[in-house]
Amino acid sequence: MNHIELTARIAELSPLRYTPAGVPATNLVLDHESEQTESGSTRQVKLSIKAVTFGTLAEQASRLDLSQAFRFRGFLATARTSKSIVFHIQEFNLL
């Protein structure tokens, strides 16, 4: 199963755009920071990930406040133009 849930802040938010089919889309970069336990040891985890959202969610995302934390849910896919991973957001909620 490919289901991701991530608590993060929005580091970058591109202006609302439209796909060739006319679907609203927004590109984001999400930053996450937390403490995780791995093999019995605690470690600090930091990551940045490219993300995208489409449709009504893209319109909503284009107005989000970059200073607040959100819980994002969605799936991972390879970007069309490269081999990098993109987080496709299907749902988000303010924390």
Q: List the domain boundaries for the chain.
A: 4-94
| pLDDT for the residue numbered 85 | 95
Q: Which fold has domain 4-94?
A: OB fold (Dihydrolipoamide Acetyltransferase, E2P) (2.40.50)
Alpha helices (runs of H) in the chain, residue ranges in sequence order? 56-61
pLDDT in tens, 23-74: 999 999 999 999 999 999 999 999 999 999 999 999 999 999 888 899 999 9
| pLDDT for the residue numbered 80 | 80
Average pLDDT over residues 5-25: 96
> Residue 48: which of 5, 91, 4, 11 has the closest Cα?
11
| pLDDT for the residue numbered 59 | 96
